[in-house]
Amino acid sequence: MTKHVTSSDIRAAFSEAMSAMYRTEVPAYGTLMDLVARVNKEALAANPALRARLKATDNLDRISEERHGAIRLGTADELAMMRRVFAVMGMYPVGYYDLSTAGVPVHSTAFRPVGEEALKRNPFRVFTSLLRLDLIADETLRKEAADILAKRQIFTSGAVELTEKAEVEGGLSKEDADRFVAEVLEAFRWHDKALVDADMYHRLHDAHRLIADVVSFKGPHINHLTPRALDIDKVQALMPEYGISPKAVVEGPPTRDCPVLLRQTSFKALEESVSFEDGRGRWKAGSHTARFGEIEQRGIALTPKGRALYDKLLDNSRKVVRPAADGSNAKAYEAALAQTFHVFPDNWAAIRADGLGYFSYSLTEKGKKGSVLPDASIDCLIADGLIQFDPIVYEDFLPVSAAGIFQSNLGDGAQQEFVAGPNQKRFEADLGAQVLNEFDHYAHIEKASLDACVSQLKNRPA
């Protein structure tokens, strides 16, 4: 019997290989990584408490590594196969994101590790979007785009064979895993020679820039990678000094003492040279804008109640100031956001008491020795210093933020409106599986931690 490597090890190797490839392909991304490493180092030096906490809970050496990337697929078959490929790496579809309401003709999920141990070993996830051709108004163009997509094969035969082998045998040997990573990486590679001629590219582009990005090329090139920043505001402020141009505003909640959900920002996508065949075997130079670099900073996962409050406050603040793509009202937007979020409690005890966030519970030193009456409430156990609680980190994405990231990287032109609403059923049919509900998932982690504390306390003789 051959020994299998773990799916987490394959994921870690894959994310490392992807990082190396992307840095070579997009040198500005390497610059961003250098800036992030510097800011993270400074943040740790300036804040010993943060350093101690991260040392206890995270691998300090890997703090500045990539947390996620993103791709955009063209067909149901591509999505279904991508699901099987990611499963080999222990990455499963979590959440459904409809971006049509934000003027982007896609719907998406995030493939990610789900268990605590897997997340700790390597948290790499891939935000994966599927183009909604049904949102192209022009019927002829819709048909042409579908025909082009139907002909392409984004995976190498080696990638498909090794995925099948992993499915049949329940894993891969070290040697096969190395080959798997190399073969799968090919699907994420950039191709500067378009599949379509210049005329078709421009017609797709006129329908929506994103449609041109998905349909015109041989595969779903990775369009960004995202390391973790310990001080996202500082990286945003320093980008120009490093010769990279940041998007107008940081997406998500404002800067807070108790971070919630996810804050993200990126540098704007670069204009890159590509070429189009002219039908007579000659290549004609052109350009395409799709690839960028992003950073993220994560906070506590919110309950449906907390999330509803977050959504309402974000919406309210955008009614006061809508961030302009050129950054001209960025300061006013930040001020409005901070102002609106004043009503969102900014200490862990209040966030917990109000039922806004998910927490992981554990026994204190006193709790490890103590015992309690069977009917003691959790609040009493906390008040008596037997149980402590820590925020559970949000591991998913935010549709409004994702739309902001998409938009700022699709150029600053006028936004388009789509009438379609979410269609999770259709997405899951195309995926060939159901996506995990993120709230159920966090609630489960919270409950398991609580049950463990209570059973330890109550099973001790009083």
Residues at the contact surface with ligand OOG, assessed by CB under 6 A: 70, 72, 127, 129, 223, 264, 294, 397, 401-402, 405-406, 409
Q: Which stretch binds Ni ion (CB under 5 A): 25-33, 177-185, 274-282, 286-294?
A: 286-294
Instruction: Give me the least distance between CB of 188 and ligand OOG, in Å please.
Output: 12
The mark string for 357-376 relative to Ni ion (x by CB under 5 A, - otherwise) is: --------------------
Instruction: Give me the least distance between CB of 128 and ligand OOG, in Å please.
Output: 8
Nearer to ligand OOG, 106 or 177 (CB): 106
Partners of residue 193 on adjacent β-strands:
275
Nearer to Ni ion, 294 or 446 (CB): 294
Nearer to ligand OOG, 40 or 129 (CB): 129
DSSP state of 28: H
Comparing every residue's Cβ against Ni ion, the nearest one is: 294
Element housing 332 (H / E): helix 330-340
Interaction residues for Ni ion, span 222-281 (CB under 5 A):
226
- Residue 14's φ and ψ, nearest 5 degrees, are -65, -45
CB 35 within 8 A of CB 235: yes
Indicate the pairing of strand 224-227 with strand 125-131.
Answer: unpaired
Nearer to ligand OOG, 294 or 334 (CB): 294
Partners of residue 125 on adjacent β-strands:
68
Nearer to ligand OOG, 266 or 303 (CB): 266
Q: Answer yes or no whether residue 294 interacts with Ni ion by CB under 5 A.
A: yes
Instruction: Specify the amino acid at residue 115.
Output: G
Tokens 């800067």 found at: 255
Nearer to ligand OOG, 98 or 446 (CB): 98
Give helix 7-25 / helix 174-185 axis angle, nearest 10°.
Answer: 40
What's the rounded Cα separation, in Å, for the pair 131 and 210? 8
Interaction residues for Ni ion, span 61-100 (CB under 5 A):
70
CB 333 within 8 A of CB 249: yes
Instruction: Please name which of 121, 124, 133 lies closest in space to residue 79, comparing C-alpha atoms.
Output: 133
Instruction: Give me the least distance between CB of 131 and ligand OOG, in Å please.
Output: 11
For residue 326, the tally of other CB atoms under 10 A from its CB is: 9
The mark string for 208-227 relative to Ni ion (x by CB under 5 A, - otherwise) is: ------------------x-
- Residue 27's φ and ψ, nearest 5 degrees, are -55, -30
Instruction: Give me the least distance between CB of 264 and ligand OOG, in Å please.
Output: 5
402 binds, among ligand OOG, Ni ion, none (CB under 5 to 8 A by kind): ligand OOG
Q: What is the DSSP string of 209-251?
A: HHHHHHHSSSS----EEEEB-S-HHHHHHHGGGGT--B-SS-B
Comparing every residue's Cβ against ligand OOG, the nearest one is: 402
Q: Binding-site residue total for Ni ion (CB under 5 A)?
A: 3
Nearer to ligand OOG, 136 or 387 (CB): 136
CB 358 within 8 A of CB 447: no
Instruction: Please name which of 68, 75, 65, 256 lies closest in space to residue 154, comparing C-alpha atoms.
Output: 75
Instruction: Give me the least distance between CB of 182 and ligand OOG, in Å please.
Output: 24
Residues that bind Ni ion (CB under 5 A): 70, 226, 294
